[in-house]
Amino acid sequence: MKKIGVFDSGIGGLTVLHSLRAACPLLDMVFLGDVGRMPYGVHDKETVLGYSRDCARFLREQGVEAIVIACNTATAASLTELRQELDIPVYGVIEFAAEAAKKATKNSRIGVIATDATVRSGSYTRALEGYTVLERPASPLVTMIEGGIADSDARALEACKAVLADLPEQSIDTLVLGCTHFPVYAKPIGELLPGVTLIDTGAALAEALKDTLGNGGSGKTEYYTSKASEAFAAMVHRLDPNAGEIRVFGW
Ligand code: DGL
């Protein structure tokens, strides 16, 4: 492929984009961060489905050949529908993360932290059928990450401790970071779960899709956001030092 579209509610999608860029250096990518309507994970399915349809339409208008839903919440709420409604391939993160977790676990006990909406959807429990799955809702981390609170900040460690709750005592050997924002806090999460393999959903997707997506473009990335945000811009430039203008648009 030459050009694909990638969307999320904001910073989380940038972690997926980063993995995709490493896997497909020449693919052209149009990234949309719906920062004006984040967080997605506190809404019901119908609302997130509506947001996802808007994002997909926007990206389709940019002439992309495929869409990556770089968001677990939007994948859970809209992958089936978008696949039916669009005439281009649509990929979501959950199936690839689940496969990576199955490969990584040795004791079949897998933890998942995700947004409230993803946990409510039961998507990971279904995708990991046959394994012992311990899911915990962790939406407060999304707002902290979008607020620009760094992983080295003591508040990040405290918040991670709170959302992991009893998981450190549950003998899991694998934890799915079931929200694309959470790799930003991989360091404090890893400190709280020594020896546990962390699954980054974007990295799992990029590894699985790199041959399918290919390398047919010129390596260009265009950035769009539905709301100007300092934390979003800082993460764009941290992960892509050569990033050009971040275009702000209204729905
Ligand atoms: N990054 C998203 C996810 O993977 C959603 C975060 C949010 O907006 O709540 O679920």
Cβ 178 under 6 angstroms from ligand 1: no
Q: How far, in Å, is the centroid of ligand 1 from the Cα of 61?
A: 23
Q: How far, in Å, is the centroid of ligand 1 from the Cα of 138?
A: 10
Domains 3-92+203-248 and 94-201 share a fold: yes
Provide the mean pLDDT of the chain: 97
Among 17, 119, 180, the mutation site with the greatest number of ligand 1 atoms within 8 A of its Cβ is 180
Domain 94-201 falls under CATH 3.40.640.10: no
Asked if 179 is an active-site residue, the reply is yes
**Mean pLDDT across the stretch 181-205?**
98
Cβ 29 under 6 angstroms from ligand 1: no
Cβ 118 under 6 angstroms from ligand 1: yes
> Would you kindly state where each structural domain of the chain is located, as residue ranges?
3-92+203-248, 94-201
Query: How many Å separate Cα 20 from the centre of its chain?
Result: 12
Asked if 71 is an active-site residue, the reply is yes
CA distances from 204 to 51, 68, 78, 120, 207 (A): 24, 13, 20, 22, 5
Categorize the per-residue pLDDT at 145 as very low, low, confident or very high, splitting at 50, 70 and 90. Answer: very high
DSSP code at position 138: -
**Mean pLDDT across the stretch 78-92?**
98
Contact between 55 and 76 under an 8 Å Cβ cutoff? The reply is no
Domain 3-92+203-248 falls under CATH 3.40.50.1860: yes
Q: How far, in Å, is the centroid of ligand 1 from the Cα of 219?
A: 26
Handedness of CA 154, 157, 160, 165 (dihedral sign): negative
Q: Model-level pTM?
A: 0.97
| Residues 231-249 pLDDT 10s | 999 999 999 999 999 999 9
| Residues 194-220 pLDDT 10s | 999 999 999 999 999 999 999 999 999
Which of the residues 24, 55, 160, 179 is marked catalytic?
179
Cβ 38 under 6 angstroms from ligand 1: yes
Can you list the positions of beta strands (E) in 9-107? 28-33, 67-69, 90-92
